[in-house]
């Protein structure tokens, strides 16, 4: 498997986005042809790389592409940052709630924008996930 976008952490141009999408299609075909996707519980280099690149593509779409036919409520940059850190660290919502010292329903409400983030929780987000203080001050 060729990892041609191994060092890219963020997509910033439409050209890069399109190249990554094409590479994901190629990886899916390769993985399908060699049986790497046969087991739904499988965890292999194809699945990890397809997931990583798909996440980069989704993040680019959220930030740069407006889908006019869809009514999508935009997430705040703070919530996107928290989700990105959870994804990068492979942390589930229950685990994050435990780290923050809050219950899972409270965290769920925060992530959906239904509940404000307390100062105590904001400090723990900064300490445990390294969420930027500027984001916390502006959007919490």
Q: What digits encode the pLDDT tens for the residues 101-140? A: 999 999 999 998 889 999 999 999 999 999 999 989 988 8
Q: Which of 93, 85, 90, 78 is nearest to 136 (CA)?
A: 78
The two three-digit tokens of residue 13, written as one number = 């141009």
Average pLDDT value for the chain: 89
- Mean of the pLDDT values across residues 59-77? 78
Q: Which single residue is written with the structure tokens 């060699």?
A: 34
- HSE (CB half, 13 Å, CA atoms) of 51? 12
Phi/psi class of residue 113: alpha, beta or left (left: φ > 0; alpha: ψ in -120 to 50)? left
Q: How many residues in the chain? A: 140
Question: Which structural domains are found in the chain, ordered by start?
Answer: 14-64 (no CATH), 77-139 (1.10.260.40)
What pLDDT, on a 0 to 100 scale, did the predictor assign at position 18? 94
- Do 82 and 113 form a contact (C-beta atoms < 8 A)? no
Both tokens of 56, joined, read 């980069």
Q: Residue 72: is its pLDDT beyond 70?
A: no
Give me the mean pLDDT over the 37-48 stretch: 87
Q: Tell me: the pLDDT tens digits for 1-38?
A: 777 878 888 899 999 999 999 999 999 999 999 998 88
Q: Is the pLDDT of residue 70 over 60?
A: no
């Amino acid at each position: 498997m060729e990892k041609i976008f191994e060092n890219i952490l963020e997509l910033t141009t439409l050209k890069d986005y399109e190249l990554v999408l094409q590479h994901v299609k190629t990886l899916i075909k390769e993985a399908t042809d060699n049986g790497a996707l046969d087991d739904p519980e499988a965890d292999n280099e194809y699945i990890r790389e397809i997931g990583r690149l798909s996440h980069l593509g989704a993040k680019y779409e959220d930030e740069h592409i407006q889908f006019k036919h869809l009514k999508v409520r935009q997430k705040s940059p703070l919530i996107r940052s928290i989700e990105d850190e959870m994804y990068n660290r492979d942390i589930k919502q229950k685990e994050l709630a435990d780290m923050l010292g809050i219950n899972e329903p409270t965290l769920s409400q925060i992530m959906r924008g239904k509940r404000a983030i307390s100062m105590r929780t904001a400090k723990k987000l900064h300490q445990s996930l390294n969420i930027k203080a500027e984001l916390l001050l502006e959007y919490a």
